[in-house]
Amino acid sequence: MNPLVHPDTLAAIVLTVQLATVTTVVLLLLGMPLAWWLSQTESRWRAAVAALVNLPLVLPPTVLGFYLLVLMGPQGALGQLTQALGLGLWSFSFPGLVLGSVVFSLPFAVQPMVHAFAAIGRRPMEVAATLRASPLDAFFSVALPQARFGLLGATILSFAHTVGEFGVVLMIGGNVPGQTRVVSTQIYGHVEAMEYAQAHALAALMVTFSFLVLLWLSRQGRRNTQVTP
């Protein structure tokens, strides 16, 4: 049987796509206003907030995963909150994976949007204000259309980065078949079991996917540079 059509592998691929999709949607909803604020504000807190957003870029995934696991545990603040709300514990569950993925991939969503919003400049928003557009109207009618390539890049990077996660996912979700086992942990399991044919097949799929994403981003970036006045 083709390793890629094995039921366990298919389940891991489906779960990975679900996780990446949900994470990307949450990142766009949370990251867009945050990126707009970072690109426009002159607050003294900007540097601190930007450093906090970019912290996952330098922290080892195991460190980030460990603290998130403690936070979601029975004695953690989030764990106590989810239990009080009747949601149970999020550690070793899909919601926990989503939370960890959102935190870990946050800079990959926010940074492209910050650059895209900053590139617009203040002039278009000032013109919209003179036409009596509210700040919210100007954001949706002026800022978002002009920053569309940055938003698209943030979407692709967020999705791809979530697909490739390993350390945070393993720390928070373990490797539970059908619940928290994604492609990266499936590969890890195959290697541990010395099932190298299956590991090769999944690893090759990941390499191909990653290469195509980076190729698209490179071509898109060059195209944007060519059309920018």
Cα torsion 116, 117, 122, 124: sign: positive
Cα torsion 211, 36, 167, 162: sign: negative
Whole-number pLDDT of residue 164: 87
Q: What is the mean pLDDT of the chain?
A: 87
Whole-number pLDDT of residue 64: 92
- List of the chain residues with pLDDT < 50: 227-229
Q: Cα 223 from chain centroid?
A: 24
Task: Find tokens 């796509």 and name the residue.
Answer: 17
Give the Cα separation of 104 and 60 in Å (integer).
10
User: Which of 73, 107, 104, 106 is closest to 90 using CA atoms?
Assistant: 73
Q: What percent of the chain has pLDDT over 90?
A: 42
Domains of the chain, CATH where assigned: 3-227 (1.10.3720.10)
Whole-number pLDDT of residue 226: 52
